[in-house]
Amino acid sequence: MNLADITTKCYILALIIRDDGERLLLGDGAYEFKDTQQHFQPNTYANDVVELQGTDGQMLAGQVRRTATQTFSGYIGDATFSQQAVESARRDFMMFFRKQHFYTAVYIFKDGTAIQRKRGYIVDAPSVPELWQKFPEWSIGLNFEDPNYYEYAENNLGEEIYAHIQSIAIATAISGGLVWDAIGATWDSVGAIWEEGGSGGITTVTVDGVDSAEPIWTVTGPATNPTLTNITTGQTIEWTGTVPSGQTLIVNMDEMTASLEGANVFQFITGTWVTLQAGNNRISYDAQGATGPSILSWNGVVG
């Protein structure tokens, strides 16, 4: 079930996407919302301090997590649903929400636009009464590690489309034998142009959202030991190894994952996950043997 397949006259729907790709649509069809409940909550913040102490009482670790809880509830089926169909929907609901998964909530509006809230986990177990009720009530509570709402769009395959994509030129390519033109572009010895605004190999990336963004970093080979630095925030991340020609390394700063042609290569990541702060960021990209730029992609925070 993709966004392109969903049509509704409802004010808002919630497409819940499990981290393994399974999807469940709430607010329409088998899982109607209660009319009296607000299912699209404003952005709220709460701080939960998590501390780990040793046997001597000394604090070993501390963590502050911003959280936002969202409760969904409604009825299974309507007057057209048979008892068998209601029971099937009840089982599907209970099977979909499992403790060991993370969930994304995509809120879909009447005009087809959507926004998302990411990395939710179950805090109130899925509940559906047995069939002694004609229309059983369902409920589920998800706690989202990040309370922000992000831009969201999909292609026809259900893959997320990023609203912002920017090339990051290779800083090390700008070395001897260069000519600076009137607008700050540099030409290397083989005639390639690197438009850097006169910053000597630094790309300015602007985030227009109301909060910071954790981008997707894409490196297409050949590239050895690619390194990305946000000079503005002081964060640097490096992947140690070689990306062969024509292959792609994808580093997800939000999910904290790294894959090379789909294979997990997280163990070769060192440094700090790079965040793009709201406003301007000065970004540097270095890689040995690289012949082209890397790419940063992200969806901005909308509220």
pLDDT one-digit tens code per residue, 160-175? 999 999 999 887 544 4
The residue whose two tokens read 């911003």 is 66
* Pair 75, 136: CB distance under 8 Å: yes
pLDDT at 195: 42
What CA–CA distance (Å, rounded) separates 180 from 190?
Answer: 15
Query: Which is higher by pLDDT, 262 or 5?
Result: 262
Query: Which is higher by pLDDT, 24 or 200?
Result: 24
Given a cut of 60, whether residue 281 has pLDDT beyond it is yes
**Number of CB atoms found within 10 A of residue 112's CB:** 12
- DSSP per-residue string spanning 38-93: --SPPP---EEEEEEE-TTS-EEEEEEEE-EEEEEEEEE--TT--HHHHHHHHHHH
The model's pLDDT over 102-147, given as tens digits with 9 standing for 90+, comes to 999 999 988 888 999 988 999 988 988 765 566 788 999 999 887 7
Q: Where in the chain is the domain with CATH 2.40.30?
A: 3-152
- DSSP per-residue string spanning 108-120: EETTS-EEEEEEE
pLDDT at 64: 47
* Radius of gyration over every alpha carbon of the chain, rounded to an integer in angstroms: 23
Kindly state the tokens that stand for 110: 């009447």
Work out the widest C-alpha separation in the chain, in whole angstroms: 81
Omega before residue 244 within 30° of 0, cis: no
Kindly state the tokens that stand for 67: 């959280």
Percentage of the chain exceeding pLDDT 90: 48
Q: Which CATH architecture has domain 164-298?
A: Sandwich (2.60)
Q: Where in the chain is the domain with CATH 2.60.120.860?
A: 164-298
What CA–CA distance (Å, rounded) separates 93 from 86?
Answer: 11
pLDDT band at 176, cuts 50/70/90? Answer: very low
Q: 3-152 in CATH: which number?
A: 2.40.30
